[in-house]
Structure formats: C-alpha cells, structure tokens
Amino acid sequence: MRLVLGFLAALLTTAGLAPPAVAAESRPIHSYADAIRETTWVETGTDNDHDGEPDRVAADVIRPDTRVRVPVILDVSPYYACCGRGNEQQKKSYAPDGTPLRFPLFYDNYFVPRGYAVVLADVGGTNRSSGCFDDVASGNAVVNWLNGRAKAFDAPDGGRAVTAAWATGDVGAIGKSQDGATAIGMAASGIAGLKTIVPIEGVADNYAQVIGNGAPFATPENTGSSFTYNERAAELCKPFEAGQKARAGTNGDYNDYWESQHYVPRAGQASVLIAQGFGDWVVAPNQFARYWDALGRAGVPRKAWLSQAGHTDPFDLRRAEWVETLHRWFDRWLLGLRNGVERAPAVHLETAPDRWTDLRSWPPATLPVTLRPSAGGALGPTGSGTASVVDDPAVTREQWAAGVSAARFTGPPLPAPVRIAGSPSVTITASSDRTAARLGVALVDYGPAETRNTAEYGSGIRNLTTRSCWGSGSDADSACFLDTVADVVRVDHRIVAAGWADLGHHASLRHGEPLVPGRPYPMTFELTALDHVVPAGHRLGLLLGGTDGLLFDPALPRLGDTVTFDLSRTSVTFGLTKPEH
C-alpha cells in the first residue's frame, strides 16, 4: 500500500499537483544508508569579503534517494566548525573527497527516512563558506536556490552548476540561539518558500540582545561574530566587521542599523513553533514574549514550548514529546498533512522541574499589581524615602540578592501561592553624582525551593551516560544521543526577572545625553518575561543596583558613580493570577 501511495504521490508531483493528505503522519520508508549526501555552494549575490568573486554559502545536503520531490528542513549556523551543536557540541565531518558524513543533531537521522531533505548551511565566512557574516542573506540564498531563483555549484570556486530539482521548494528553518535568530530574520524578510520556522532560544530584537535600554553589555571589540570565522574570512572580513560596528555605534543609541535588525515588527507569514526557557540569561525570555505578541497580532499560526530551563533545546528536556511535536509540525506545514497540530493547545508550559501543562494561550489574563519600595526595606503599595547605591561592576545580581552593593526591598510573606506571568516593568526615578549611570533591577522570589540550576547561565540540565536513539544512523553519524536529566538545586531565593538601562537614555533610546549630577530623572523600562509561581510563605523582593557583573563586560568604563533612587517615585508592575495547578 505504501508503494502504491508513493507512486501516486510521484505522479501527482511530476504533474505539478499536490498529493492528497493520505496519512496522519510521514513514515520512515526511505533508506538512511542510501541517502544522497552532497555539498553545494550557493551564490548570495554579494561580495562582502571583497575578493572579486561572488560570496558562496556551503550547504551540506542529505536527502532520500527518491524520484519524489521532498521538502527541506534547513539549519543555517555559524557554529558547525568552531563550536558544535547540541549538548554534545557535534561538528560536521567530511570524507577525504569532501562529501559530508556527519550532520549534527537528530534532524537528518529522524526526518530523512520520513521523506525530508535536511540542509545544514554555513553562514557566510564560517566553516566552508566564503563571504562574511550575513546570516539572513546566507539562509535566504539557500531558500532561493531550493526554489530555482539562485545559482549554486559543486565546488567553492565555481565548477559545475547544480540545481535543486529534487526539492519541492517548501522550507522549514530551525535552529537554536544564533540559528534561531537567523530563522526569525528570514521569516521577517518575507522570503518566498519559507513555510515555517522553529526558533529555539532565538533573538528577535538584536538591539535588546546586546544593549539594555541604552547600556551596551560589552565593548565593541568583544561583540560580533568574528570568533566564528574561518581563517580566510578572519582576515578578509575585517573591513566588513568594522563597517557593521560603525553602523551599530558605540554609545547605546537605537539607530537605523538596529532598526534593520529588529524583526518583531515584521513577524512574517511563516508559521512558528518557538521554544524558550524562562531561566535563559543568554537569550532572555523578553525576546520570546515580544515576538510571540507580534505573531498573535499578525495572525500567524504559532505554538510555544516554554520551560523553566536555561539556554536549552527542548530535545534535552522532554525528548519524546518534543520529537513528536516537531514531527507533526513539519508534516503539517511542509507536507500538508492535515493532522490538526495547529488546533492543539498553543502552549506547552513547564511549571516546575519536569512538570508540564498545556495552555490555550500565553500570557494568561492577569491583574496588574504595582509595588513600591520604602527606605526601611519594605515593598508594598506605597513607597517613601531614598536609597543610594555605589556602583561596583564586580558585583553580580546574585550578590545583590544577598544584600551586597544594591538596595533590597521585600514584601510580607504571601498568604497563598500566586502566579506572575508576562513582562513586568519598572519605573525608576534616580539621580547620579556623575554624568552617567547604569541601572540594574531584579525581581526576586525569596524562599526555599527546588529549581532548575540556571542562576549563573546554567542550562538547567546535566548529561547522563546513557543514550537514546532517534531515527537511523551510520558509523559516521550516530542517531543516539546522550540522555539528560534536570539539574535541580536547593535555593533560598530565585531571581525571576531582571532589566538594565543607561539613565542617560531616560528620554529616548535613540538619543542618550549626559546627566546633570544630582538631578533626578524618571525612566521606565521592561524586565525579562517570566511565568513563575511564588509559593505561599515566600516574599517578593525588588533589587535596585548599578552595573550587573554577570552581564556587563569588565572592559567597559568603570563609571564610579553613586545612584540615589527616589523611592516615592519608583515602582515595579507585573501581572498576577492564580496558579494553573
């Protein structure tokens, strides 16, 4: 029966017709061992490295050996040679003749037998690609090639032209961290053929990723992508990198460059399955929250996996359930199988380590609550007095929570558990004795708890020595991956949201200004998004500090200022509701 259906699908595809949805899900009917493995070098239409030749992105392809055209799962990454992917940091490997042998992660092992091609593309200037770091252009070039709109060759310097006659042209872009940011950017570009994206801990607003409301997190020389470059690009792309940094600026101002890197207002039309950890301090969850809201406003089909972990792939949190979800998602949007995944609950939420629930929407309907600090250390409905903090860039927000180098305020014990969900905000009124000041704010749950270990960029998981297998493999590319378990620690507090700002940008993110020493300035900004249950008996805390030693680069200028907060005009606002369970 499967052979008959496959033959029918081939005839319909050849005739230019879409095959009917004949199964609830794709099945592993293709041989992984006999899959075609090849590399094509796709022209991007640019010459960013100024070598006089078109930039070419290396796209490593593994696809079923079949006459039926297949859709593509695409991961565009700068990390395939320098850093690896997944919790085992897998890198690509090649045969002596250059044929790709190992494709990191499980996508090839699981999906190629099910009738998908998997393409892992090197961002310009990384691994085997020429050009410079232009991630969205790199991914879009591959999508264009898969749809017959771009040239590709079988050698890095040209050679024989290669077409993707085997591809349907339908593409799903997936990836974690930078790879996820690239997928989001590709969707924002409106590239034809991109049907769905699966960003995992991905960035949607590049300004917010490297600058906290006017306060750059690092010096220009310690930002950017140069650490991922191959040896050739490391030299040729110096002018390109210098130009990018000049466009970005060094004063923390939001400008036209950052506007071009802001994907939230251009949510795109591709469906989105997104994953985010609320304990992620690498890509903070406000990246997810803003993008999720924009997708909803645009009417884009969307689904989210939200955990309490750090910068972690759902594959390493709830493996079987994630693979099933991903399988159904790609079947729906790349194969057109009407499996109803878009009608399932929109949000899969982890409420505590390894405890999950399904929700129809996020964030939930909440009651806005505003709390204010008082000079005696209380946090409640009214505020009064002042508090001064001497900025010390060596002190971290975790030390602030212990009462070091920050003003700490706590409320009374809660009589019942409450759930805080969404994106809190703070309004600060502060003055500095210098012409500049950095601000750091944190919302804290004080009380004993067992939680995933994410406090100082922890992932919230740890590897075991056992392995589980997902699909078919080979000697060079195993389908078996280290199992994981929740890394749970006992704590007496947890920072559940935080935010940072430059007080000189109090009036506008586009134009910072020197402060007049002693003059108070009001400033309102958002904290990182959260979904957290505060148990009964715990206290909510608010921390007011300066430079956060966990986030800011020690090479930044030491301001040496004292910030004085007007507590009567300082507050934190968040959404409150009852816990789901």
Which pLDDT tens digit goes with each residue over 384-436?
A: 999 999 999 999 999 999 989 999 999 999 999 999 999 999 999 999 999 99
Question: Given the structure tokens 């395939």, which residue do they identify?
Answer: 80
For 448, other C-beta atoms within 10 Å of its C-beta total: 11
Q: Which of 547, 396, 393, 526 is nearest to 457 (CA)?
A: 396
Question: Given the structure tokens 């042998």, which residue do they identify?
Answer: 101
User: Hey, where are the domains in the chain?
Assistant: 34-271, 367-577
How do 302-307 and 271-277 pair as beta strands? parallel
Give me the chain's average pLDDT, please.
94
Query: Per DSSP, which regions of 470-517 are E strands?
Result: 480-486, 488-502
280 in active site: yes
Q: Which of 179, 177, 55, 161 is nearest to 119 (CA)?
A: 179
For 117, other C-beta atoms within 10 Å of its C-beta total: 25
| More confident position, 512 or 403 | 512
73-77-80 Cα angle (round to 5): 105
pLDDT at 14 over 80: no
pLDDT at 3 over 60: no
Average pLDDT over residues 435-451: 98
pLDDT at 299 over 80: yes
Percent of the chain with pLDDT over 90: 92
For 106, other C-beta atoms within 10 Å of its C-beta total: 25
Which value, to the nearest 10 degrees, does the dihedral of the CA atoms of residues 184, 186, 191, 192 take?
-60
Q: Which of 270, 84, 122 is nearest to 187 (CA)?
A: 270
Q: Which of 77, 129, 138, 177 is catalytic?
A: 177
311 in active site: yes
313 in active site: no
Average pLDDT over residues 172-182: 98
Residue 33 CA to residue 10 CA, distance in Å, equals 22
Average pLDDT over residues 17-28: 64
pLDDT at 4 over 90: no
- Token pair listed for 496: 């559940």
Residue 298 CA to residue 290 CA, distance in Å, equals 12
Which pLDDT tens digit goes with each residue over 98-133?
A: 999 999 999 999 999 999 999 999 999 999 999 999
Instruction: Write the CB contacts of 198 (distance below 8 Å, at least 6 apart in sequence).
Output: 172, 173, 174, 175, 180, 183, 272, 273, 274, 275, 326, 329
Please give the C-alpha separations between residue 15 and each of 7, 10, 154, 230, in angstroms, as whole numbers. 12, 9, 28, 44
CB 544 within 8 A of CB 406: yes
Which pLDDT tens digit goes with each residue over 204-256?
A: 999 999 999 999 999 887 888 889 999 999 999 999 999 999 999 999 999 99
Q: Which of 262, 311, 327, 538 is catalytic?
A: 311
Which value, to the nearest 10 degrees, does the dihedral of the CA atoms of residues 177, 183, 186, 187 take?
-120
Which pLDDT tens digit goes with each residue over 179-213?
A: 999 999 999 999 999 999 999 999 999 999 999 99
For 358, other C-beta atoms within 10 Å of its C-beta total: 11
What is residue 581's three-state secondary structure?
A: coil
Supply the pLDDT for residue 7.
31
Supply the pLDDT for residue 9.
38
Average pLDDT over residues 554-581: 93
pLDDT at 66 over 70: yes
302 CB-side CA count, 13 A: 26
Provide the phi-psi class of 66: left if phi over 0, else alpha when psi is between -120 and 50, else beta: beta
pLDDT at 17 over 70: no
Supply the pLDDT for residue 16.
39
Which value, to the nearest 10 degrees, does the dihedral of the CA atoms of residues 236, 238, 243, 246 take?
180
What is residue 435's three-state secondary structure?
A: coil
Number of H helices, E strands in the chain: 11, 31
Q: Which of 122, 280, 313, 331 is catalytic?
A: 280
Supply the pLDDT for residue 360.
96
Helix (H) or strand (E) holding 296: helix 286-298
34-271 to CATH, choices 3.20.20.140, 1.20.1630.10, 3.40.630.10, 3.40.50.1820? 3.40.50.1820
10 Å CB burial of residue 91 (0-12, 13-18, 19+) is middle
Q: What is the pTM of this model?
A: 0.94
- Token pair listed for 343: 């009608």
Terminus-to-terminus CA distance in the chain, angstroms?
A: 46
The type of residue at 310 is G
How do 167-176 and 158-161 pair as beta strands? unpaired
Which pLDDT tens digit goes with each residue over 126-166?
A: 999 999 999 999 999 999 999 999 999 999 998 899 999 99
Average pLDDT over residues 276-280: 98
Which pLDDT tens digit goes with each residue over 448-507?
A: 999 999 998 999 999 999 999 999 999 999 999 999 999 999 999 999 999 999 999 999
Q: What superfamily in CATH does domain 367-577 come from?
A: Galactose-binding domain-like (2.60.120.260)
Residue 321 CA to residue 334 CA, distance in Å, equals 20
Q: Which of 144, 114, 135, 119 is nearest to 206 (CA)?
A: 135
**For residue 581, what pLDDT band results from cuts at 50, 70 and 90?**
low
Peptide bond into 535 cis (omega under 30): no
